[in-house]
Amino acid sequence: MVPKLGSSGPADGATAVPTNSTITLKFDQPMKQKAGIGGAIHWTGDRLDPSKFIYAWTADSRQLGCTYSGGLPTNSLVTWALNPPGAAVTFESQTGNQLASSTYSGQFTTGGKICDPGPTAFWGSYGIAKRSNFRQISSADPVEDIEPGTFVFFAVIANPAFGGATYTSGSVTFPNGSQTNLANFANLSFFESVETEAELDAASPPGAYTLRFAQTGQTEFVIPMTLPVNGPPVPRITNFAATQAVNAAQDFTLEWVTFTGADADDFIFINIFDEQFKVVFHAPDGCLPINPPATATSIVIPANTFKTNQTCSVELVFGQSFYSSTNTVSLMSGYGNILRGNRFNLKTGTGGGGAALPATLGEAHLLGNGHPAFDLGGTAGATYAIQRVASLEASTWPEIGTVTMDGTGQAVFEDTQAGSAFPQFYRAVAK
């Protein structure tokens, strides 16, 4: 059965949409949780950078939340379309049927005023970056995040919001001499997502990169960049225990390790999301005097930012800049960054039983006794119900067992009840 988009939010044509809104896409059946799923959405909008979206599936794989890091641009018409022609990644049901191309789309306008946008706010941009994400579950060092799409290399050419040139072709050349053309949607872009940092370093190693882009019939810009051997350290929260018992009515100081080797071009940013993936705090913030330098080791989060008995998701990112220019291309700013992020939960009061991360299932295989088994990833210490059906058309999913994630957020499930009839379909739902 071909999947359909059942509903979306904000509503099509909505105005004055808060900049901390999460765009939600609800499908009529479970979808495959593919890495790099952002490549299946064509985003456009004034000052909108598609690479800043963070994607999260619900446990039943029917709803995708799209949250814009740092808040959506103010007073901007934002449009989206699913499965655009030529997309490298597509929305697909768990039964292998693709969502129809160029059928589902929407638009809305954000509200608010522009707070200290800076001199280049309406410029275009070009650059390359690689990002690794980690997760911290205790005072110990963070571990590699297992969510899809958390280790990524990208190259993006974003046209100026108003006026200026429109660039219609581009490519990125890697240190080994291979060249990849950038996909031409609203922006020129290339994304490559892998599962581990070692794979990311192998796919996008240190060395000489060249970014090329041009208008039709015009001279091509050739931008050389050198990606360094060493990136920033992995951010680690040093008062992790305090983050698990925050008093929502008082100021709270979040503390982290020193960004060793940071210079004036490097940066730190922080985003905090509530249970619905809406931004409740972010820094830097152009509307408030909050702009932590790369040398900062703490930040004060004002009282009443959080609710009592709430669990929020926090990301702290160290960014190392290896290329920056505002005068090479007219009305375009250039960047080259290596990013390392740390995600963790922050709790107030009892934490309110905050939702566990959606589970990821993988490495399915048959054991010697004929029982199906597979690996799972999710929230450390959380318990998940394992449900099984013989057909995805089933109206109910019976629970056949439970698993509890270990301290690294991983578990293995063996189905001792499955008969010899296949296929069988499984899902894990947080209890």
SS3 for the chain is CCCCEEEEECCCCEEEECCCCEEEEEECCCECCCCCHHHHEEEECCCCCHHHEEEEECCCCCEEEEEECCCCCCCCEEEEEECCCCCCCCCEECCCCECCCCCCEEEEEECCCCCCCCCCCCCEEEEEEEEEEEECCCCCCCEECCCCCCEEEEEEEECCCCCCCCCCEEEEECCCCCEEECEECCCEEEEEEECCHHHHHHHCCCEEEEEEEECCCCCCEEEEEEECCCCCCCCCECCHHHHCCECCCCCEEEEECCCCCCCCCCEEEEEEECCCCCEEEEECECCCCECCCCCCCEEEECCCCCCCCEEEEEEEEEEEEEEEEEEEECCEEEEEEEEEEEEEEEEECCHHHCCCCCCEEEEEEECCCCCEEEEEECCCCCEEEEEEECCCCCCCCCEEEEEECCCCCEEEEECCCCCCCCCCEEEEEEC
Position of tokens 């379309």? 81
Query: Residue 372's pLDDT is what?
Result: 85
How many other CB atoms are found less than 10 A from the CB of residue 414? Answer: 14
Query: Residue 238's pLDDT is what?
Result: 97
**Cβ pair 144, 112 in contact under 8 A:** no
Q: What is the pTM of this model?
A: 0.63
Q: Is residue 209 part of a domain?
A: yes
Note if the bond before 10 is cis, omega within 30 degrees. yes
Strand partners, 345: 313
Find, among 313, 312, 267, the residue nearest to 129 by Cα. Answer: 267
User: CATH code at 72?
Assistant: 2.60.40.1220
Position of tokens 């940071």? 262
Query: Residue 116's pLDDT is what?
Result: 57
| Final residue belonging to a domain, choices 352, 370, 404 | 352
Q: Is residue 118 part of a domain?
A: no
Assess whether 199 and 78 both reside in one domain. no
Assess whether 293 and 194 both reside in one domain. yes
Q: Is residue 116 part of a domain?
A: no
Assess whether 394 and 267 both reside in one domain. no
Query: Residue 277's pLDDT is what?
Result: 65
Amino acid letter, residue 273: F
**Cβ pair 20, 68 in contact under 8 A:** no
Assess whether 231 and 324 both reside in one domain. yes
Integer Rg of the chain from CA: 22
State the Cα–Cα distance between residues 182 and 388, nearest whole angstrom: 41
Q: Is residue 117 part of a domain?
A: no
Residue 91 tokens, joined: 């929305």
Tens digit of each residue's pLDDT, the chain (431 residues): 889 998 888 877 777 788 888 898 999 899 998 888 888 998 888 778 888 888 888 888 888 989 888 788 877 888 888 988 777 789 999 988 999 887 888 888 887 655 555 667 678 889 999 999 999 989 999 999 877 668 999 998 988 766 667 888 899 999 999 999 998 765 788 888 888 999 999 999 999 999 999 987 778 999 999 999 989 999 999 999 999 999 999 999 999 999 999 998 999 999 888 876 667 888 887 666 678 999 999 999 999 889 888 889 899 999 999 999 999 998 889 999 999 999 999 999 877 755 566 677 776 777 878 888 888 877 767 788 888 887 766 667 888 888 888 766 788 888 887 665 667 788 888 77
Find, among 40, 94, 103, the residue nearest to 66 by Cα. Answer: 40
Query: Residue 419's pLDDT is what?
Result: 64
State the Cα–Cα distance between residues 107 and 91, nearest whole angstrom: 19
Geometric angle at alpha carbon 42, from 102 and 107, rounded to 5°: 85
Residue 362 tokens, joined: 């993988």
Find, among 277, 247, 251, the residue nearest to 68 by Cα. Answer: 277
Assess whether 235 and 347 both reside in one domain. yes
Assess whether 203 and 290 both reside in one domain. yes
Q: Is residue 119 part of a domain?
A: no
Assess whether 327 and 280 both reside in one domain. yes
Q: Is residue 115 part of a domain?
A: no
Assess whether 222 and 344 both reside in one domain. yes
Assess whether 325 and 232 both reside in one domain. yes
Assess whether 149 and 264 both reside in one domain. yes
| Final residue belonging to a domain, choices 60, 78, 110 | 110
Query: Residue 121's pLDDT is what?
Result: 65
**Cβ pair 188, 31 in contact under 8 A:** no
Q: Count how many residues are written for the chain.
A: 431
Domain count, the chain: 3
How many other CB atoms are found less than 10 A from the CB of residue 315? Answer: 20
Position of tokens 């390392």? 340
Residue 24 tokens, joined: 């939600």
* Domain region containing 276: 124-352
State the Cα–Cα distance between residues 424 and 219, nearest whole angstrom: 56
Question: Judging by beta carbons within 10 Å of its beta carbon (0-12, 13-18, 19+), is residue 91 exposed, middle or buried?
Answer: buried
Assess whether 313 and 192 both reside in one domain. yes
Residue 234 tokens, joined: 């992995």
| Final residue belonging to a domain, choices 79, 110, 141 | 110
Assess whether 105 and 211 both reside in one domain. no
